[in-house]
């Protein structure tokens, strides 16, 4: 049994976002810590991204008995099938997570925020300092977890905003 702690962070919601994952065994020994900035996204999208990345990592380890612990009641309830998913972007992420969950004997648990501090710190580290992974032998392709709606090349500078103002009055304006 391994425990996957996942968290997401978004500054602006939507805004620059990242997820963080902390994985430990049943004795409390840390197996891995990692995080990835995912561009502009909501906090909930980042939470889902963390679950997906954690499951991919567990699959790579060959660990299929997992407990996923999160402080996002929304994601836990949606993945458990108790709450509906109305947002199209989140439905796409949920479908991917549920597809991965089929390969696992998994339990989903909501935990208070203070019990998810390691994953939260990993998400904020990824936002502040960029992508990282504590275990170098992993081959998980982190960037592939993004839904089509937010997939874009990584940008190192702010994009230019162009505002077009038209003056005058016609029957079409």
pLDDT tops 50 at residue 32: yes
Examine residue 172 and state whether it is found in any structural domain, yes or no: no
CA distance readout (Å), 75 to 97, 98, 168: 10, 11, 49
The pLDDT assigned to 157 comes to 53
Residue 87 lies in a domain: yes
Digit-coded pLDDT (tens) for 51-96: 999 999 999 999 999 999 999 999 999 999 999 999 888 999 999 9
Q: Looking at the domain assignment, is residue 74 inside a domain?
A: yes
The secondary structure of 69-108 as a DSSP string is: EES-HHHHHHHTTSS----HHHHHHHHHHHHHHTTSEEEE
The whole-model pTM stands at 0.78
pLDDT value of position 162: 73
Concatenated DSSP letters for 43-60? HHHHHHHHHHHHHHHHHH
| Cβ atoms 53, 132 nearer than 8 A | no
Q: Is residue 39 part of a domain?
A: yes
CATH of the domain at 24: 3.30.420.10
Q: What is the DSSP letter of 136?
A: T
Residue 14 lies in a domain: yes
**pLDDT for position 44:** 95
Question: 112: domain range?
Answer: 2-150
**69-80: per-residue pLDDT in tens?**
999 999 999 999
Assess if residue 123 is contained within a domain: yes
Mean pLDDT over the full length of the chain: 86
Q: Does residue 139 lie within any of the structural domains?
A: yes
- The number of domains in the chain is 1
């Amino acid at each position: 049994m391994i425990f996957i702690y996942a968290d997401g962070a978004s500054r602006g919601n939507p805004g620059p976002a990242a997820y963080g994952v902390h994985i430990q065994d049943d004795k409390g020994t840390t197996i891995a810590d990692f995080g990835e900035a995912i561009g502009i996204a909501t906090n909930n999208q980042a939470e889902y991204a963390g679950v997906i990345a954690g499951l991919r990592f567990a699959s790579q380890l060959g660990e299929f008995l997992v407990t996923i612990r999160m402080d996002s009641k929304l994601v836990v309830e949606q993945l458990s099938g108790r709450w509906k998913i109305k947002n199209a972007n989140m439905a796409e992420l949920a479908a991917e997570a549920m597809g991965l969950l089929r390969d696992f004997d998994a339990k989903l648990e909501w935990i208070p925020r203070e019990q998810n501090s390691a994953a939260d710190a990993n998400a904020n580290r990824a936002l502040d300092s960029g992508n990282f992974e504590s275990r170098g032998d992993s081959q998980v392709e982190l960037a592939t977890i993004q839904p089509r709606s937010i997939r874009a090349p990584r940008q190192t500078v702010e994009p230019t905003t162009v505002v077009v103002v038209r003056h005058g009055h016609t029957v079409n304006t």
